[in-house]
Structure 1
Amino acid sequence: MTQDQTDYLKGRHVLITGGAGFIGSNLCEELLNNEVHVVCLDNFATGKRENIQSFLSHPKFTLIEGDIRDLDTCKAACKGIDFVLHQAALGSVPRSIKDPITSNDVNVTGFLNMLVASRDADVKRFIYAASSSTYGDHEALPKVEDTIGKPLSPYAITKYVNELYADIFSGTYGLNTIGLRYFNVFGRRQDPNGAYAAVIPKFVLQFMSHESPFINGDGSYSRDFTYIDNVVQMNILALCTQNQAALNTVYNTAYGQRTTLLELTELLKKHLSKFDKDISKIAIKHRDNRAGDIPHSLASIEKAKKLLGYDPKYDIDSGLKEAVSWYWEHLK
């Protein structure tokens, strides 16, 4: 955070829903390191207590264990709050295909509860985790915020509905909102375990165990992989911007660089081989493409640069170097 951002947030109270999750806990850490009051709301369905363990003794940190599907819990959490960073959601396209009802309950009903609670508590700004999945079947690259396609999964539908609700609450109730369309975020504290683990931590764990990771398809599918520190920067910019033209809209939150899955595995092997040279020899296996996956994803970040002053510091290579070092230290 810059000194101006620290000064602006001094004495403010920020609620982070999903604060024990991967992105949420990194946001908690950044704000606490700058002496901002943080309230974390999490039901620990996907968040982990170890992610916030070191914050529990911080005098400016408050944990509320609760579920955003309960409106009373949301209202209690919003009391005295200046800003909301809404990260709580059930991620994963495959999870939403397997269980669309729960994904909808958390991602739509929970989101609406948080909007209502924020409105009623006179929250100054509501910043929320949107998703690149909203672009759906729109094939043009790079992805530009005002042009989307048809959603390809229940998860994508829920994240698009979030944007529609945020827009209504801005126009109807005057609640300032900013949506951040995350593109394949990775980095420290991202869980490598479980059926719905993201590709990078999952591959890292497999390589460290000398297992061959599976790539869905031929490996030509590509993503705009985005290191966590870039995402933290975007959230802080969204919190602190004084540009009125920057409010009540959505932004791609990415680096603006496309990497194929095959390129990703080679980069992972390069960085992991510094710790274990045998990893460089591990072969890759292939299987069928996954339902609901889009072939390619690449963000235009021009809007965020222009309106928020976004300046991402980590490309895929430098981000993976940091992430791999963290995983090697914490998973070994």
Structure 2
Amino acid sequence: MYETKHHREDLTGKSFLITGGAGFIGSNLVEYLLKHGAGKVRILDNFSTGSHENIAQFRDNAAFEIVEGDIRSLEDCRLAVAGIDYVSHQAALGSVPRSINDPITSNEVNISGFLNILVAARDEGVNGFVYAASSSTYGDHPALPKEEENIGNPLSPYAVTKYVNELYASVFSRTYGFHTIGLRYFNVFGPRQNPKGPYAAVIPLFIESALKGEAPFINGDGETSRDFTFVENAVQANIKALLTSGLNSNEVINIAFGQRTTLNELWDRIAERTGLEIKPAYREERRGDVKHSLASIQKAKNLVGYDPGFSVLEGLDISLNWYKNNS
């Protein structure tokens, strides 16, 4: 599909569990691991938001395994981590609006589910545990760029769940000596991100509109800005964090590109690439949304050697090609 740009670690003989492996980021992670020789790549997924289509191409690979189960079941989590060296926990119910509409389910999946996989991984004695944290944890803290130690009050139930993950990870580090790395993702986008449904992310929605020649909706005045992160950068961060040895504490790092793009600029870039001259339709801002987001990625560089290889524009080009070929 496209070539990775970072140093390829030796994955030979290593076994990995990707929770949410049929999802957007999870399936891209599975693809990387299988492509670069991992000994075993197992996924745990209940296919509530992930899809069989995302993993169809891996099914014939002898190194690929599926555990169809739910992180809300400790038994399923124990089954999934049995004999595994490294766990990348990507399973979650994303979306701020979804959590506002149904905070209970978001809590059950994102907090109880996280605790289950954390306990199962601790008891299995895995070599590395990395989990999907979120930039939503910065909440109403106004400073830019966002630095890991400075967070504000959460603005949505989703943000609460992701912050609680970090608190549990910190407690497990201090109490049990089980050290993990949380990756605070900033607006990850790329191939396999679903443009359908009420909680779709902005980039696949914009691309789908562009490919149909339609005006997209923008929440607010379009000057909301985000640090958009191409999925390959997130994959790189996972691999590097999983294989980081010598941790003696819990760590949380920002995973982003380190550049701000407004929604208006984003649409302009996509329209430009698809030859459109259509203005977006503006509507009310969404509840719980942060106005501006920009990450400092210095800690990620220092701790795990993170070096994002794909810019937003490169990622948009790759994504547009993928959606054109898969729509």
TM-score grouping bracket, smaller chain normalisation: over 0.9
Cα deviation, residue 169, structure 1: 0.9
Q: Which amino acid aligns with 1:102?
A: T
Cα deviation, residue 154, structure 1: 0.1
Cα deviation, residue 297, structure 1: 0.2
Q: Is 1:172 aligned to 2:168, yes or no?
A: no
Does the CA-based 8 Å contact 2:128-2:243 persist in structure 1? no
Provide the aligned C-alpha RMSD in A.
Answer: 1.2
Cross-structure match for 1:272: 274
Q: TM-score normalised to the size of structure 1? A: 0.95
Q: What SS does the corresponding residue of 1:244 show, helix, strand or coil?
A: coil
Greater shift in the superposed pair: 316-325 or 18-27: 316-325
Cα deviation, residue 272, structure 1: 2.1
Cα deviation, residue 94, structure 1: 0.1
Q: TM-score normalised to the size of structure 2? A: 0.96
Cross-structure match for 2:98: 95
Does the CA-based 8 Å contact 1:143-1:300 persist in structure 2? yes
1:177-196 matches, within 5 Å, as 177-196=180-199
Alignment partners' CA distance in 1, 2:7 and 2:318: 25
Cα deviation, residue 3, structure 1: 6.7
Cα deviation, residue 241, structure 1: 2.0
Q: Is 1:141 aligned to 2:137, yes or no?
A: no
Greater shift in the superposed pair: 128-137 or 322-331: 322-331
Q: What SS does the corresponding residue of 2:150 show, helix, strand or coil?
A: coil
Give the length in aligned residue pairs: 322
1:70-219 matches, within 5 Å, as 70-219=73-222
Cα deviation, residue 242, structure 1: 3.1
Per-residue CA distance 1:86-134 (angstroms, 9 max, x = gap): 0000000000000000000000000000011111111121100000000
Does the CA-based 8 Å contact 2:30-2:41 persist in structure 1? yes
Q: Which amino acid aligns with 1:300?
A: S
Q: Which amino acid aligns with 1:163?
A: E
Alignment partners' CA distance in 2, 1:143 and 1:243: 26
Q: What SS does the corresponding residue of 1:266 show, helix, strand or coil?
A: helix
Alignment partners' CA distance in 2, 1:174 and 1:291: 38
Cross-structure match for 1:16: 18
Alignment partners' CA distance in 1, 2:211 and 2:7: 40
Cα deviation, residue 4, structure 1: 6.5
Alignment partners' CA distance in 2, 1:51 and 1:224: 25
Q: What SS does the corresponding residue of 1:62 show, helix, strand or coil?
A: strand
Q: Is 1:5 aligned to 2:9, yes or no?
A: yes
Q: Which amino acid aligns with 1:62?
A: E
Q: What SS does the corresponding residue of 1:5 show, helix, strand or coil?
A: coil
Cα deviation, residue 52, structure 1: 0.3
Cross-structure match for 1:66: 69
Alignment partners' CA distance in 2, 1:93 and 1:161: 15
Q: Which amino acid aligns with 1:215?
A: I
Per-residue CA distance 1:40-73 (angstroms, 9 max, x = gap): 0000000010100011110000001000001100
Per-residue CA distance 1:285-314 (angstroms, 9 max, x = gap): 100100000000000001111121111111
Does the CA-based 8 Å contact 1:254-1:301 persist in structure 2? yes
Cα deviation, residue 319, structure 1: 1.1
Alignment partners' CA distance in 1, 2:312 and 2:136: 20
Does the CA-based 8 Å contact 2:16-2:41 persist in structure 1? yes
Does the CA-based 8 Å contact 1:107-1:158 persist in structure 2? yes
Q: What SS does the corresponding residue of 1:262 show, helix, strand or coil?
A: helix
Q: Which amino acid aligns with 2:162?
A: K
Cross-structure match for 1:319: 315
Cα deviation, residue 223, structure 1: 0.2
Structure 1: tracts of 5 or more residues without a match? 274-279
Does the CA-based 8 Å contact 2:8-2:36 persist in structure 1? no
Alignment partners' CA distance in 1, 2:297 and 2:246: 17
Q: Is 1:282 aligned to 2:278, yes or no?
A: yes
